[in-house]
Amino acid sequence: MSNESEFSHLDSRGHVRMVNVGGKTVSAREARAVSTVIFPPGVLKRVLDGDSPKGDVAAAARIAGMSAAKKTSELIPLCHAIGLTSVAIDFRVCEPDSIEVTCAACAEAKTGVEMEALVGASIAALTIYDMCKALSKGIRITEVALLYKSGGRSGEWRAQLANS
C-alpha cells in the first residue's frame, strides 16, 4: 500500500491518520473560497426584493457559513480544530441569475484554513438553497473552489479560475 511520503493522511501501513502538526510553526493563515448559486429566471429578483418566505436570506446564509467554518473539524474527519481569528461571508450578485458566495477564514495556526473557507462557502450556499427552495426547487449550486490561501510552508497560492 502507499507510504507516508506519498499521502500525508496515510501511515506506513496505509491506514488513515490525522497528520501530526505538533512540530510545525504557528503562522498567519488565510484562505478564501467561493460557491456559486444559480437561480431559475426571475427567482433571484424575488430574493433580492425580499420576497422569500423564510425571511432574510443573506443574514441566515452569513450566520450559517460562519458557524460551519468554525465547526469544520467536526464535519471533516481528518481536519484539525483551529481557533479562527476571523470568518467573513460575502455575496456578489452576478448576471444573469446567480450569486457568488465567498468565505474568507483567518487564523494563527500550525495548519491551514482552506477547509474552513470551503466549508463556510458551501454551507452558506446550501443555506441560500434552503431559504429559497419554496420559490423554486431548480436552484443549483454549481461550484465550490478554493480561490486563495496563504501562510505555512507552502506560502501563497491563487486559483487560476476563469471568473476569480
Catalytic positions are 130
User: How far apart (Å, rounded) are the C-alpha atoms in residues 116 and 96?
Assistant: 29
φ, ψ at 22 (rounded to 5°): -55, -35
User: How far apart (Å, rounded) are the C-alpha atoms in residues 48 and 39?
Assistant: 12
Contact 107, 63 (CB under 8 A): no
Burial of 51 (0-12, 13-18, 19+ CB in 10 A): exposed
Nearest Cα residue to 163 out of 118, 88, 69, 98: 98
Contact 66, 120 (CB under 8 A): yes
User: How far apart (Å, rounded) are the C-alpha atoms in residues 107 and 5?
Assistant: 27
